[in-house]
């Protein structure tokens, strides 16, 4: 099952509305603020996930399975929030 984080769903809604209206500048101020907030949250999620995956690779490279399992647990916890 592929989860969709609420932030990603809201971004999709705003994108569809902006497309229908003819551009982002036609969204209301609150919708534009919503878009900005969602983009910030999305960037944070991507950054955290990327950092953890890079750490997991480093742990794998140095053959530290305990550390890698800890990192993978954190990745799973973060991904679970995306459902």
pTM value? 0.79
Residue 1 included in any domain:
no
- Confidence class of residue 80 from pLDDT cuts 50, 70 and 90? confident
Domain around 46: 6-80
pLDDT at 82 over 80: no
Contact yes or no for 34/14 (Cβ under 8 A) = yes
Span 36-46, pLDDT tens digits: 999 999 999 99
| CA atoms of 83 and 79, how far apart (whole Å) | 7
| Residue at 62 is within a domain | yes
Tokens of 14: 């705003």
Establish if 76 belongs to a structural domain: yes
Check residue 22 and give left, alpha or beta (phi > 0: left; psi -120 to 50: alpha).
Answer: left
The SS3 assignment for 82 reads coil
Into how many domains does the chain fold?
1
| 37 contacts: CB under 8 Å, gap ≥ 6 | none
Segment 50-66, tens digit of pLDDT: 999 999 999 999 999 99
């Amino acid at each position: 099952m592929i989860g969709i984080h609420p932030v990603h769903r809201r971004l999709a809604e705003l994108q569809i509305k902006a497309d229908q209206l003819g551009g982002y500048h036609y969204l209301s101020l609150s919708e534009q603020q919503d878009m900005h907030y969602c983009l910030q949250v999305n960037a944070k999620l991507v950054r955290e996930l990327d950092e953890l995956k890079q750490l997991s690779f480093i742990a794998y490279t140095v053959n530290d399975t305990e550390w890698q399992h800890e990192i993978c647990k954190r990745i799973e916890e973060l991904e679970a929030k995306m459902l």
